[in-house]
Amino acid sequence: MIFMKRSLPHRTLTSVLAAALFFSAGAGVARAADPEPAAVTTDDRGYTEIATFAKAVELIRQDYVDGQKVSYHDLIYAAMKGMLSSLDPHSQFMDPDDFKDMQDDTRSRFNGLGVEVAVRDGLLTVVTPMEDTPAAKAGIQAGDQILKINGTSTEKLGLQDAISVLRGEPGQKITLTILRPSNKEIKDYALERKEIKVASVKGGQLLDAELTGPFKVGYVRIVQFNEPTADEFAKTLDNLQKEGMQALVLDLRNNPGGLLNSAVEVLGQFLPPNTKVVSTQGRASSQKHEYSTPGGGKERPYFPLVVLVNEGSASGSEIVAGALKDLHRAIVVGETTFGKGSVQNVMQLPDGSALRFTTAKYYTPSKAVIQGNGVVPNILVPLTPEQDRAVAALRNNDKIQPSDATSTIKSKDLQMMRGIDALKGVMIYAQQTSPKVEAVKK
């Protein structure tokens, strides 16, 4: 096969490569996005453009000074990385190892620092540091901008390349140079990669009566939406109901999202079956979907609900907060969320690599666009950097004494306190009006 390629005239080889690239690429796009017939055409202009690309590949292979860097595999992979990264910050080409890492993410395990990143305004930005990970324990915060990784500027580093550097074998040291926009501070963080297993549902408990008064208010934190999240969350609610829970605080702060189906199933714990909670719309008709809560689930009491969000709440957590807010099922408290509301399709290629590219945008039940806007809370409660650090430290320290946790919440976690106050107000109002409602009924 190699001999035959070398025997072909240069022009013929270019044409063969162009044709192969064109027809394989066209098929891949059709499978991935299933566009309208007019969206993808095999006209002469398309063929000419891909022939130009093939010509460039052959010229580089023929004359580039370093012959070790010009294999077809390396050149085509580099081209696909550039092609996907040029579309938007969330589209990317994944080699087989990267694709496997992405699959591991949805199963709540991977190796790395525990920091979710995205490109925002051209800068590599922390979406959220995940709980109980090296990044969170070091004090890295949502919104931090990563200027350097191991002393190398991230200015021209693609998103997938940055992720590849941040992840890797446990035990290796990584130094991040961070700019914190809130105070313009630049600081180096020396971190060590670890094997990370994320518990997606944490903190299920009744809050201290010192915080809630005569009411039994439950608290649950969803760290991210993975395969086991919905089942774990349902079991946690079962336990809280057995303890007499009257209202719930659902904490989605610093939740970077995850699986859409998982987020929809969690919404099914609060909303009637077959309630539309999110929709998607893209260029192709196949990307127009409506997602509704599943049927056949356990019926739960209509208890008062508060959802806590912040700048680190993204994607799936924005879908949950947006739906509960729009459908008037919850009071959303905190800060405007990250604004990551686009749909990425992942299509595996024959060699085990994959394309991940944006095909649609998410819309809340009221047709609000999440992408770039985020979800605005009903009650806006910003935290100072000092308060944010105290709350993060509390979330990442399971050994703290309950009395100390209560003290920290009262003095530092203003979002939690405003949420509890809102719930208490709802329950007090319900107590005062329910006898009058009964009297009217009689």
Catalytic residue positions, numbered: 315, 326, 340
CA distance 88 to 360: 12
Nearest Cα residue to 293 out of 309, 279, 272, 308: 272
Looking only at the bridges linking them, the beta strands covering 109-112 and 92-94 are unpaired
CA dihedral 405, 129, 317, 348 (to 10 degrees): -150
β-pairing, 201-206 vs 217-222, is: antiparallel
The length of the chain in residues reads: 442
Tokens of 437: 């409602």
Q: d(Cα 254, Cα 338) in Å, to the nearest integer?
A: 9
322, 370 Cβ separation under 8 angstroms = yes
Are the C-beta atoms of 358 and 342 separated by less than 8 Å?
Answer: yes
* CA-to-CA dists, residue 332 to 305, 371, 375, 419, angstroms: 9, 18, 9, 8
Q: What is the DSSP letter of 294?
A: P
The CA distance from 178 to 162, in Å, is 14
Residue 219 and residue 240 in contact, taking contact as beta carbons nearer than 8 Å: no
Taking the C-alpha atoms of residue 427 and residue 425, their distance in angstroms, rounded to an integer, is 5
Helix axis angle for 72-85 and 159-166, nearest 10°, is 110
Secondary structure percentages of the chain, helix, strand, coil, to 5: 40, 25, 35
3-state secondary structure of 265: helix
Beta strands in 252-330 (DSSP E): 276-282, 289-292, 305-309
The Cβ-side half-sphere exposure at 41, using a 13 Å CA radius, reads: 7
Instruction: Report residue 60 CA to chain centroid gap.
Output: 38
Question: Residue type at 113?
Answer: L
- 167 in Cβ contact with 102 (< 8 Å): no
Q: What's the CA gap between 258 and 297, in Å, rounded?
A: 22
φ and ψ of 44, to 5 deg: -65, -30
